[in-house]
Structure 1
């Protein structure tokens, strides 16, 4: 076993994604994930509580990237522009080389209602965090919550398009398109 090799958590995530894609979530065992990653099962459990947790690890860090992006928007930015800053900050998580793994993750979640619910809760938590960041910037309710949830809707739509077969545009372009459409709806 290659326990001394760096980035055990990353190797476990990659191994899990590969196995989930090959045989599905239910048929994949922790032992198989650990073996493919070149670590022991004990090492797996140092990083993740169970195999489902591989799909949802680092939720706090995930949300913090969006929230920090909202906080870092220029002081005179509108609520929607601050949310856009949060969405663009998140792009570090969705690099082009991760598209294939993201497709597998999305496929696994789509096939499992319990995981779908957990994904929705994760994104609702991100929206709540962005709304709190907007309130910190002086945006009143319900505007803060509406802007944050609209931003998550833009991200969700752009992400689904990014993962669709045949899509060649990258996520920044799809987010920009979604923000343009959202702004157009506001002017309608």
Structure 2
């Protein structure tokens, strides 16, 4: 096996998703993932702490959230910042629908992974709330904006992966934000 090859992380993710789909999550080993990717187990562990992290690695998402919140105009309200942040996440995911479908199928087949998905979403909300607090948003407002924003994101994401003829994820996010504004204006 080559000592270094480009895109090792991406190749490991693809190999893992393929194997999870073929064999199931529980029956897939790290060794099999590394072999399918043409890499070593050691390389796998440089990128992921275990095979679950292939599905739940959150560092790129956490960084994207922090960067988006930091880039928002100072005059933006906490909800406007949150809406812009989840819209940015949607843009980043838009071209990855097929991967999202495959990932979702693996998670849906395993209750332990379903629980882990909820934990990941809770961490995303906590990270968003923390980033809002760094902007000076009070605790309660930061927590409510973050939790509400993640609820919109989850609903839009489910629509996106469930319907073959749905508009893109960014459009679904915008629609969810608009509907939330309508609901809260009543």
Distance of 1:153 and 1:46 partners within structure 2: 33
Aligned Cα root-mean-square deviation (Å)? 1.7
With the length of structure 1 as denominator, give the TM-score of the two structures: 0.90
- Deviation string 1:103-152 (CA, Å, 9 cap, x unpaired) is 11111112222222222122111211211222233322322211110000
**Which 4+ stretches in 1 moved above 3 angstroms?**
none
Where structure 1 has 5 or more consecutive residues not aligned to the other structure, the ranges are none
Contact 1:131 1:147 in 2 (8 A): yes
User: How has the CA–CA distance of structure 1 residues 41 and 133 changed in structure 2, closer, same or farther, with 3 Å as cutoff?
Assistant: closer
Contact 1:69 1:88 in 2 (8 A): no
Where structure 2 has 5 or more consecutive residues not aligned to the other structure, the ranges are none
Alignment of 1:1-188 (within 5 A): 1-57=1-57, 59-96=58-95, 98-188=96-186
Contact 1:161 1:167 in 2 (8 A): no
- Deviation string 1:5-36 (CA, Å, 9 cap, x unpaired) is 21111100011111112221112222221121
With the length of structure 2 as denominator, give the TM-score of the two structures: 0.91
Distance of 1:147 and 1:107 partners within structure 2: 29
Shift of 1:175: 0.4
Count of aligned pairs: 186
